[in-house]
Amino acid sequence: MGLLKDKVVLVTGGTSGIGRAAAVLFAEEGAKVAITGRRAEPGEQVVDEISKAGGEALFIRADATDIAGAGDVVRRTVEHFGRLDAAFNNAGTAMVGPLTELDEKTWDVLVDGNLKSTFFYLQAEAAQMKRQKEGGSIVLNGSVFAELGIEGISIYSASKGGVTALARAAAVELGPDGIRVNSVNPTVIRTPLTETGITRNEDGTEYHPHGEKIPLGRLGEPEEVANATLFLLSDLSSYITGQTLMVDGGQSVN
């Protein structure tokens, strides 16, 4: 359909999982895509996949928690492609543990990796879009657990709750510049990490304990989150800002 035709899109954490699926989809929809990641090999693999399909992509090696590097990533994206039209701030991290046993280091890792990094990338992206004076769209990756209480992930939930609150506040502040900011809030998504918990039933169907909590009865796929993000980045959602789109198989209403 070409929903992002000739747009330049930055995807943080774009080398695996949701980020990779998003980068590939955006390229299929006509975008020129810049992706970040900590390891060069998977980053170059994504670029190669996009290039072989006829798209344009750039890999920038960067750790999202390196706050000083956010501006450099945006600068390099603009130097390569000439502008920045949209961004998916996807990079994040997760750790679990009982609330009474979590320490300050765990707090710092989760808040820095999920909230602090998201804010400073948002800041750098918005500044570039304001300079261009042509608006833009930014999507932040939150979590269904920003809305739902579940044991063992208190700090993770708090950090993702901050992400969704940030999207609302940024939408108000950046709206006059034509910059839309929204968040997608996925449930547990199938990734190499979560697949370790999947078993197969005798009839060939898959079972994951978290799937029992989801009305649709299964984990989400990275491509399903990518599709939701595509909608929010594209002009199909041109009058939507400051919103949270739950991509959770109905878990948040169960």
pLDDT in tens, 208-232: 666 678 999 888 999 999 999 999 9
What's the pLDDT at 206? 64
pTM across the whole model:
0.94
| Cα 231 to Cα 192: distance, rounded to the nearest angstrom | 25
Which helix (H) or strand (E) segment holds residue 12: the answer is strand 8-12
User: Mean pLDDT score of the chain, rounded to an integer?
Assistant: 93
Task: Give residue 191's pLDDT.
Answer: 76
Is residue 244 within 8 A of residue 164, CB to CB? The reply is: yes
Check: CATH 3.20.20.70 for 8-188+222-253?
no
Q: What does the pLDDT read at residue 254?
A: 84
Name the residue with higher pLDDT: 198 or 216: 216
Those residues whose C-beta lies under 8 Å from the C-beta of residue 195, and which sit 6 or more positions away, are none
Task: Give me 215's structure tokens.
Answer: 């009305």
**DSSP at 237:** G
Are 27 and 78 a contacting pair, CB within 8 Å?
no
pLDDT for 73 = 98
The Cα 169–Cα 2 span in angstroms is 30
What pLDDT score was predicted for residue 118? 98
Quote the percentage of the chain above a pLDDT of 70: 92
Q: How confident is the model at residue 81 (pLDDT cuts 50, 70, 90)?
A: very high
More confident site: 47 or 152: 47
Residues 6+ apart with CB under 8 A from 150: 157
Instruction: Give me the long-range contacts of 168-174 (CB less than 8 A, separation at least 24).
Output: 168/242, 170/122, 170/126, 170/138, 171/241, 171/242, 171/243, 172/242, 174/126, 174/129, 174/130
Question: Using 50, 70 and 90 to split pLDDT, how confident is the model at 95?
Answer: confident
Secondary structure (DSSP) of 186-213? E-SB--TTGGGG-EE-TTS-EE-GGGGG
d(CA 216, CA 188): 13
CA distance 206 to 47: 31
Banded model confidence at residue 94, pLDDT cuts 50, 70, 90: confident
Q: What amino acid is encoded at 75 in this protein?
A: R
The CA distances from residue 48 to 15, 51, 120, 230, in Å, are 12, 5, 28, 21
For the annotated catalytic residues, the residue numbers are: 143, 156, 160
Residues 125-168 pLDDT 10s: 999 999 999 999 999 999 999 998 888 889 999 999 999 999 99
Question: 105: pLDDT confidence band, cut at 50, 70 and 90?
Answer: very high
Consecutive H or E run containing 219: none
What's the one-letter identity of residue 203?
A: D
What is the reported pLDDT for 192?
Answer: 67
